[in-house]
Amino acid sequence: MQIHRDWTALKAEARGASVAMGNFDGVHRGHRTVIDAARAASDAPLGILTFEPHPREYFAPDAPPFRLMNAEARANRLSRLGVAHLYELPFGPVLAGLTPEAFAREVLAEGLGVAHVTVGADFCFGKNRAGTAATLQDLGRQLGFGVTIVPLAGSEGADYSSTAIREALARGDTQAAERMLGHWHRIEGEVIHGEKRGRELGWPTANMVMDGLHLPRLGVYAVLVDILTGPDKGPCKGVASLGVRPMFGVNTPNLEVNLFDYSGDLYGQHLSVALVAFLRDEARFESLEALIAQMDRDGAEARRILDGC
C-alpha cells in the first residue's frame, strides 16, 4: 500500500483510483461496507481518502481524546484490506476552507483524478460541512467521476458506529466492540522506556502511551499481541494493564503489556495489542506482595482465556 500525504503533483500511477472517502476511525464493519463498495464500483485500483489529523481534532483541539486508533493503526488495518493507495491528506486551514464545490474540483477531480468515489449515506464535506453525499453525487456528474452512496450498515436495529464502539470499550465490553469492529480493538505504537517497576516485580512490561486515543475501561486485560517490527516480529499472548498505576501515584494513563514466555528487548519496536477480555478494574493493594499475588492470578486467568487463540 502506498501512502500519499498531498493531493497535488501525484505521479500518474497514484491517480485514477476508485476511492472510499471518510475518517474510518476504527475501520469497523460499517466502514468496510463503504470500502467494499468502492472496490466493486470500478476496475481501478482501490484507494482510501482520509484526513490527518481527524477534523474533530483540528476544530476542537482541547476536547477529550476520542480516536479509536492512531494513523499508524488505521494504515495497518487498511493495508490488510487490499487498499492500493491511502490518501492521508493533511487537514488544516486549506482543506477546512474549501467549499464542497472547490473540494470536489481541486482535490478529487484535478488532484487525485478519481475514477469513482464511494461514501456513506451520512457523509458531509467542505467548509462548515455544507456538502452532503447527494451534493457529492451532483458534483461528480459535473466533474466526470461516479459516486456511490452506501446505506448505513448495522445489526440488531443499530448502526455500526465509532460512538457505539467507544461506549462498549468504556464499559470494558471487548466482545461487543469486536462484533461492531469485525476485529479486536487494538492499540498500536512504539514501546517506550518506563520506570521498570514491572521487571522489579517479576512481571516485565512493554510500555506504550495512549496519547490522543479514547480510553477503554481502565484495568487489566487478556491480550493478543503482534510484534510489528524488529527481529522478533510475530504473534504473542499476554496480559496488560491499562491505567494510571494507583499503587505508585502516577496519573498519566498508559498501557503496560507483559508478553508470556518472552525475554527479548522491545524498546523502540512497534506493537499491536488486541484487547480480548477485561479481567478486573485497577486497584490499590495493601502491599507489593499482594499486588504480585494478584498479578500472578491475572496472568493465569489471561492464559486460560487465550488458550486456543
Mean pLDDT, range 69-89, rounded to an integer = 95
Reported confidence tier of residue 253, pLDDT bands at 50, 70, 90: confident
Is residue 52 a contact partner of residue 88, using CB atoms and an 8 Å limit?
yes
Say what the pLDDT of residue 134 is.
96
CA 199 to chain centre: 29
- What are the grid coordinates assigned to 235, written together? 504473534
DSSP 64: P
Say what the pLDDT of residue 231 is.
92
Digit-coded pLDDT (tens) for 257-278:
999 999 888 999 999 999 999 9
Digit-coded pLDDT (tens) for 7-44:
998 999 999 999 999 999 999 999 999 999 999 999 99
- Annotated active-site positions, please? 256
Is residue 15 a contact partner of residue 87, using CB atoms and an 8 Å limit?
no
Residue type, 24: F
d(CA 295, CA 247): 13
- What are the grid coordinates assigned to 39, written together? 472496490
Mean pLDDT, range 114-128, rounded to an integer = 96
DSSP 129: G
Alpha helix (H) residue ranges in the chain: 29-41, 55-59, 71-79, 93-96, 100-102, 133-143, 162-170, 174-181, 197-200, 288-306
Digit-coded pLDDT (tens) for 164-212:
999 999 999 999 999 999 999 999 999 998 665 555 555 788 999 998 8
Reported confidence tier of residue 157, pLDDT bands at 50, 70, 90: low
| DSSP bridge partners of 256 | 207, 241
Question: Is a pLDDT exceeding 70 seen at residue 303?
Answer: yes
Within 10 Å of residue 12's Cβ, how many Cβ atoms?
7
Reported confidence tier of residue 227, pLDDT bands at 50, 70, 90: very high
Say what the pLDDT of residue 154 is.
79
Reported confidence tier of residue 152, pLDDT bands at 50, 70, 90: confident
Give the rounded percent of residues in the chain with a pLDDT score beyond 70.
94
d(CA 158, CA 153): 8
Task: Identify the residue with better confidence: 3 or 157.
Answer: 3
Question: Is a pLDDT exceeding 80 seen at residue 143?
Answer: yes
Mean residue pLDDT across the chain: 92
Mean pLDDT, range 73-101, rounded to an integer = 96
d(CA 241, CA 252): 13
Within 10 Å of residue 132's Cβ, how many Cβ atoms?
18
Say what the pLDDT of residue 218 is.
95
H or E segment at 119? strand 116-120
Say what the pLDDT of residue 189 is.
92
Q: Is the dihedral of CA 257, 224, 82, 94 positive or negative?
A: negative
Say what the pLDDT of residue 282 is.
87
Domains of the chain: 2-155 (3.40.50.620), 184-306 (2.40.30.30)
